[in-house]
Amino acid sequence: MFGRMLKIGTRSSPLALRQVDEVIGCLNEFYPQIRVEIKGFDTYGDRDKITPISDIEGSDFFTREIEDALLKGEIDFAVHSAKDLPDEMPEGLCIAAITKSIDSSDALVSKNNLKIDKLRYGARVGVSSQRRKAQLRKYRNDFQLVDIRGNIEERIAKLKDNKIDAIVVASCALMRLGLEIKIAQRIPLEILTPHPLQGALAVEVRKDNEELRNILEVLNGR
């Protein structure tokens, strides 16, 4: 297995590439001889920046092209944000490992670094998932919740053009991108309960590649 280069599939965004670096670093602890090549994909979800995330949760919106390449043997394994996994995986694929979350909390990024209870009445808050929308409505029904798409940098940029007052994103995404300074507040769990897989990474492989599955199992809980 280590006699050849292993190809890793991932989305092409800066965050996704940082996630792959994280996985490679963990693998190198156990297998310093491993050699890898990263192949980036612009998935349907990366190209479609209009459809609300709440409309496609549980689908293969962010994994389809990567999983197709995995089934065709164009890559050896894939790295995903664990919460991006579809509810139903394609036949022939399986998850070899789920890493330990580096931070499962949701973060508020806001103008003037305001915390959630200090945002103005009727503040426009950019959110993606249905989970976040429902819980934020329950906490403050005066908020105008705005569907927000794009990578983390694109979402933060919306604060600068005065379209929204704040955004809610995963703390782990900001941490991995070196943008932790942008966090105005890690939102308390009594306000927002995070996705159970938030902050964790999923490593996907073909079921019939038992040797690689065994190698990747060292990443479980890492």
Half-sphere exposure at residue 37, Cβ-oriented, CA atoms within 13 angstroms = 9
Q: Do domains 6-100+200-219 and 106-186 have the same CATH topology?
A: yes
Class of domain 6-100+200-219: alpha beta
Could you tell me the residue ranges of all domains in the chain? 6-100+200-219, 106-186
pTM of the predicted structure, to 2 decimals? 0.90
Instruction: Determine the Cα–Cα distance for residues 79 and 67; give it in Å rounded to an integer.
Output: 10
Specify the pairing of strand 201-206 against strand 77-81: antiparallel
Q: What is the residue-level pLDDT of the chain in tens, covering all 222 positions?
A: 666 789 999 999 999 999 999 999 999 999 999 999 999 998 877 777 777 776 767 778 888 999 999 999 999 999 999 988 888 889 999 999 999 999 999 999 999 999 999 999 999 999 988 899 999 999 999 999 999 888 899 889 888 877 899 999 999 999 999 999 999 999 999 999 999 999 999 999 999 999 999 999 999 986
- Give the helix, strand, coil percentages of the chain, each rounded to 5: 35, 20, 40
Under CATH, what is the fold of the domain 106-186?
D-Maltodextrin-Binding Protein; domain 2 (3.40.190)
